[in-house]
Structure 1
Amino acid sequence: MALTDTALKALKPMDKVFTVADDRGLYVEVFPTGGVVWRYRYRLNGKLEKLTLGKYPALTLKNARKKRDEAAEAVAMGTSPAQQKQLAKVAAADATTVAEFGERFFAEIVAKDRADLTIPRRYFDKAIVPAIGAKPVRDVTTEDVRAIIWRKKDEGFDAAAGQIRGVLKRLFDFAMTAGLVTTNPVLALPMRHVHKAKARERALSPEEIKTFLRAAFESNIRRQFKIGLHLILLTMVRKSELLLARWEHVDFDAAEWHIPVEHSKTGKPHIVFLSTQAVALFRELQALAGGSSLVMPGRGSLTKPFAHNAINNALKVALAGQDIPAFTVHDLRRTASTLLHENGWPSDVVEKALNHTIGGVRGVYNRAEYATQRREMLQQWADTIEALMGSGRVILGRFKPAA
């Protein structure tokens, strides 16, 4: 008996896939998940074949029968509609450009791995698309990707070249999964030949902290950057966590900053206990935000944060002409960690404040958050920095936990 619209709407999923026939080879396949798919079964040269027509209810009964009749005409002419559909897929894949496939890559892969796409997106848009964006994915060669990566190396930016290689490798890994290519052209360029990251050990001394903060606040960089750099030192957060922060995450009454899971590198929510100095800095940032929901809205926009390299550049400007070895924004976290450890604070307390994942057996069994200790530690740390700024001589005393 032929299907009706009423019968289709009444279909209920079962534990196993089952089929319900319509007429002349047309039928629906019903999945345990509730999905319903139209298929057409036919014989060509004595061989049984089937063609997927589409999903119900997007493809109605009337239109499914129309597509069946079109396929039946092709069969009558000796043509396999299933084979023609497969060839059309291959042709579409052959024509897919790097720029087109990159959009799918960012939506289906990168966006699921990280909340902030700024850095990989910038490398893709600025370095990869101008070079090979219009080229079909299948036609990209090792020489193509080598040219992109080595152009950045020749400019003296080995770390950026390594980042670009990483984006290209992941993109072509996904292209292999999607069936667009059979080999990854990036694999012929080992990362060790592009850039070998060095473990950083830079931590500022008390004298350097004083020089850095005074230079930052006396420089002509934006006031938001001065406060932001100070806050990173006081709170030990990552640069991205501050740049993505929103006012809904800051609780002034509780003196807490809640970093949501989507902004946390560890993939877990994190609470930063704010010292009185940090609260004051946040209040000033709120006044500078101009009503934006972002703690640090970018220049000329209340809806977008500053780019990651903006605060990096601000630090370089602030330190220009200062008698202090170069350091990065991330080194401020290492500075706080080093001095806190040296002054007797338990490693687990410091690591929790840094929002690090504690490894090994200790990490498995230690679920403590050390809220009281972290609040006390960060307040003492802020008091120490404040005293350091106000002193003529730099003497960093012991500020370990009270007995």
Structure 2
Amino acid sequence: MVFSTDREIQNFKAQEKRYSVKDKLNNGLFIEVKESGVKSWHYRYTFEGKQERLVIGRYPDLSLKEARQIRDESASKVAKGISPKQEKEDKKAGRLKSVLFKDYGERYLNEVIKKDRKNPYNLVLYLNNDIYPFIGHIIVNKITTEDVRRVIWRKKEQGYDASASQVRGLLKRMFDYAVTLGVVPFNPVLAIPTRHVFKNKPRDRYLTTDEIRQFYTTLLNSRIYRPRKLGLLLSLLTLLRKSELLKAEWSHIDFEKRIWLIPVTKADSKTGNSREMVVYMSDQIIEILKELKTIAGDEPYVFVGRKSGTHFSHNAFNTSQKNALRLTDIPDFTIHDLRRTASTHLNEQGFNRDAIEKCLNHSAVGVRAVYNKAEYAEERKEMMQKWSNFIFSVIYEPNLIFFNQAKKHWQVECK
């Protein structure tokens, strides 16, 4: 198929597959018609023994006459030993080289992160809170290893080694892409090995009964925002992950059936899929949620953010936990360690191991995974109530003032 006039080009219609039509009068000039009907100009030529293709522009934004003119100019460059495609890419890279890191970061966010990640929320937080404020104003190819080191070590000095490693990983991927685009000649992050930032070790930290009493007595009697205190208490009582608490919605909670649905949980490390889970609510969990409902009003989230329709920020519980922990002599622990705390105590108290794993929303492995399909609903209901009773027998009396501040007193059944 060939063309020689604008009228012929206008008559080309979209087909099931994209196709190209050659200009009868100009060697190497084609118009490509996509399945959507979009038409674009291309110039194909041989440079140093290899075929290259230059995308010229869309039709009718560029007329046949204009496309032919660009084709002729490009053919002249090829004859002089210049690759039109490479020249175009060099100009594009040159423009990028003069942009600020924040502007480049927004491009990376749209072209890479949002395509690879279903939920880029945490990465956007790192960009806005930990990266842009310190190097966002610097031109991309002017950023040094020392600039990067300062950003990463700031998180380490705050005591967030794991987060520092996440920041390092994000910066490394961003500069990898910048090298690919020709924006920078090398990746400055490579001079800072991951092992020097954070070495992941299997954690075995859990709170003893005395530590549970001391931490929650300190927390509940502190001046920390009350819903945050209640959230940290729910973390221990429900065995939920922090992200599952943060994103909890009232529409997922059925007070009559005493069920709390978690529709989206952390993705399974092997399958990459999220598993829906159910929390069977104890009397104490229900009363805590009722107080939070009074505070939340008509807001959709259990833990209401600063703006209507939003939930607590990613670091809200972390900040409160660390602030309370500083007021004690308890060794450091994380919010995630509260799940291990619950699991350890429940196993020590003789509850069914599989029922505990279901409350943690862990998947079984090996033969157990094949044959054990039980959900242990009744066992989990009983276990969750006894677990709440145990925790309240430990923390209730030292915190009478806190619990009496609720509109409805919590009735505690202690062993």
Q: TM bucket by the smaller chain?
A: 0.7 to 0.9
- The answer as to 2:276 corresponding to 1:270 is yes
Specify the alignment match of 1:19 in structure 2: 20
Specify the alignment match of 1:396 in structure 2: none
- Give the alignment partner of residue 339 of structure 1, picking from 338, 341, 345: 345
SS at match of 1:39: strand
Specify the alignment match of 1:210 in structure 2: 213
Q: CA deviation at 1:350?
A: 2.0
Matches within 5 A, 1:3-402: 4=8, 7-8=11-12, 10-14=13-17, 18-21=19-22, 24-25=25-26, 26-30=29-33, 36-41=38-43, 50-54=53-57, 59-61=58-60, 63-65=62-64, 67-72=66-71, 74-75=73-74, 82-111=85-114, 112-113=116-117, 115=119, 117-118=121-122, 120-153=123-156, 158-181=161-184, 183-261=186-264, 264-266=266-268, 267-273=273-279, 274-298=281-305, 300-319=306-325, 321-322=327-328, 324-359=330-365, 362-363=368-369, 369-389=375-395
Q: Which deviates further from its counterpart, 174-183 or 75-84? A: 75-84
TM-score, normalised with respect to structure 2: 0.76
SS at match of 2:260: strand
Contact 2:234 2:285 (C-alpha < 8 Å) held by counterparts: yes
Distance, in Å, in 2 between the alignment partners of 1:255 and 1:13 is 54
Deviations 1:109-136 (A, max 9, x none): 4444363624x43443344324432334
Contact 1:216 1:226 (C-alpha < 8 Å) held by counterparts: yes
Distance, in Å, in 2 between the alignment partners of 1:49 and 1:326 is 59
Q: How much is the aligned-residue C-alpha RMSD, in angstroms?
A: 3.8
Deviations 1:310-346 (A, max 9, x none): 3233234445544644433222111111111222334
**Which amino acid counterpart does residue 13 of structure 1 have in structure 2?**
E
SS at match of 2:40: strand
Q: Which deviates further from its counterpart, 349-358 or 319-328? A: 319-328
Q: CA deviation at 1:103?
A: 1.7
Distance 1:138 1:260, change over 3 A: farther
Deviations 1:142-186 (A, max 9, x none): 333234334554666544433332221222233345454454322
**Which amino acid counterpart does residue 115 of structure 1 have in structure 2?**
N
Q: CA deviation at 1:235?
A: 0.9
Distance 1:178 1:295, change over 3 A: farther
**Which amino acid counterpart does residue 343 of structure 2 have in structure 1?**
S
Report % sequence identity: 40
Contact 1:44 1:75 (C-alpha < 8 Å) held by counterparts: no
Deviations 1:285-315 (A, max 9, x none): 12111321121112x4223322233323323
Distance 1:381 1:107, change over 3 A: farther
**Which amino acid counterpart does residue 51 of structure 1 have in structure 2?**
L
Contact 1:256 1:271 (C-alpha < 8 Å) held by counterparts: no
Question: Any stretches of 5+ residues in structure 1 without a counterpart?
Answer: 393-398
Contact 1:337 1:350 (C-alpha < 8 Å) held by counterparts: yes
**Which amino acid counterpart does residue 173 of structure 2 have in structure 1?**
R
Distance, in Å, in 1 between the alignment partners of 2:90 and 2:325 is 61
Deviations 1:6-33 (A, max 9, x none): 633x32124xx532346644533356x6
Distance, in Å, in 2 between the alignment partners of 1:344 and 1:45 is 75
Contact 2:241 2:339 (C-alpha < 8 Å) held by counterparts: yes
Question: Any stretches of 5+ residues in structure 2 without a counterpart?
Answer: 399-414
Distance, in Å, in 2 between the alignment partners of 1:46 and 1:339 is 71
Distance 1:232 1:116, change over 3 A: farther
Q: Which deviates further from its counterpart, 106-115 or 224-233? A: 106-115
Distance 1:377 1:22, change over 3 A: farther
SS at match of 1:308: coil
Deviations 1:11-68 (A, max 9, x none): 2124xx532346644533356x6575523447799998643234xxxx4436342541
Distance, in Å, in 1 between the alignment partners of 2:349 and 2:117 is 37
